[in-house]
């Protein structure tokens, strides 16, 4: 491949990298794939193979190095707000020690913390939560519940406040846009962005992205054209 062809190929790759993404799939923690005990599982950790993504591992902690117990309790009530057209709803998502990940005082290492690790880095579109309620949804929720997260250990983080006023507490973040993610930590602490003391939540799903099919076809077509052009030129020079 000469320098000109290499430059064109690089441009095609750049096009794929900057093109709009399409939703690729869900890592659905409400699916009984996660709740059903399998060989290699422990109380605090389990790994599942997700099609198109690879191995995904969950780990529960109650402090920096103290393991917690992963839970996948109950089911999701059938209400108009229930996301069961999207998610399996066999259980109500991931909790720690009880059906939810709960508030604690201090840094993320001092509180209940769910660590999600990916065998292969992924791009993120949305997080889906259950039991994340708005202010006044119940007598236990004087303030909106807040979930926090941090990417890749010490990378960017975010916060998301619940607004649901029903019994389900289903909520979906806006477009996240995180790239090359190999780890996410979910928690509700007081150190970085203080979470209300009533906060608890369950992680229902992680939604991933890939370049749109049209962009991939464009890239493939470009490579085919480059190959054809190279062969024709080589033939002409014989």
Segment 4-17 mean pLDDT = 41
Q: Are residues 7 and 67 in the same domain?
A: no
User: How many CB atoms sit inside 10 A of residue 35's CB?
Assistant: 16
Distance, CA of 77 to CA of 167 (rounded, Å)? 8
Task: Dig out the tokens for 108 from the structure.
Answer: 């993320």
- Report the SS3 class of residue 149: strand
pLDDT band (50, 70, 90) for residue 81: low
Q: Are residues 202 and 218 in the same domain?
A: no
Domain range for 43 = 22-210
Q: Are residues 66 and 183 in the same domain?
A: yes
Q: Quick one: which of 226, 202, 227, 210 has its CA closest to 34?
A: 202
Q: Are residues 116 and 191 in the same domain?
A: yes
- How many domains does one find in the chain? 2
Cβ atoms of 130 and 93 within 8 Å: the answer is yes
Q: Annotate 222-236 with b (16+ C-beta within 10 A) or e (fewer).
A: beeebeeeeeeeeee
pLDDT, tens digit (0-9, with 9 covering 90-100), for 134-148 = 999 988 889 999 999
Q: Are residues 120 and 88 in the same domain?
A: yes
pLDDT band (50, 70, 90) for residue 84: confident
Q: Are residues 227 and 154 in the same domain?
A: no
Q: Are residues 219 and 170 in the same domain?
A: no
Q: Are residues 116 and 167 in the same domain?
A: yes
- Residue 113 has phi, psi (to 5 degrees) of -145, 125
Q: Are residues 109 and 11 in the same domain?
A: no
- Report the SS3 class of residue 131: coil
Q: Are residues 146 and 231 in the same domain?
A: no
Q: Are residues 96 and 195 in the same domain?
A: yes
Q: Are residues 165 and 142 in the same domain?
A: yes
What is the percentage of the chain residues whose pLDDT exceeds 90?
66
pLDDT, tens digit (0-9, with 9 covering 90-100), for 160-216 = 999 999 888 999 999 999 999 999 999 999 998 899 999 999 999 999 986 544 334
Residue 1 has pLDDT above 70, yes or no: no
CATH of the domain at 150: 2.60.120
């Amino acid at each position: 491949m000469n320098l000109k062809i290499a430059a064109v190929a690089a441009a095609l790759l750049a096009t794929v990298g900057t093109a709009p993404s399409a939703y690729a799939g869900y890592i659905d923690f409400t699916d009984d794939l996660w709740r059903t005990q399998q060989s290699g599982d422990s109380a605090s950790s389990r790994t599942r193979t997700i099609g198109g993504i690879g191995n995904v591992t969950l780990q529960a902690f109650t402090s920096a190095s103290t393991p917690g117990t992963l839970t996948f309790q109950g089911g999701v009530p059938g209400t108009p707000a229930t996301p069961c057209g999207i998610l399996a709803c066999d259980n109500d998502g991931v909790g720690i020690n009880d059906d939810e990940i709960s508030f604690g005082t201090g840094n993320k290492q001092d509180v209940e913390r769910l660590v999600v690790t990916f065998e292969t880095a992924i791009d993120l579109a949305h997080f889906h939560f259950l039991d994340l309620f708005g202010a006044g949804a119940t007598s236990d929720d004087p303030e909106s519940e807040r979930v926090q997260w941090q990417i890749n250990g010490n990378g960017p983080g975010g916060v998301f406040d619940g607004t649901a006023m029903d019994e389900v507490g289903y909520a979906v973040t806006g477009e996240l846009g995180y790239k090359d993610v190999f780890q996410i930590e979910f928690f509700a602490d007081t150190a970085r962005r203080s979470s209300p003391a009533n906060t608890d939540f369950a992680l229902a799903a992680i939604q991933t992205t890939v370049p749109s099919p049209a962009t991939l076809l464009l890239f493939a077509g470009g490579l085919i054209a480059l190959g054809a052009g190279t062969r024709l030129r080589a033939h002409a020079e014989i």
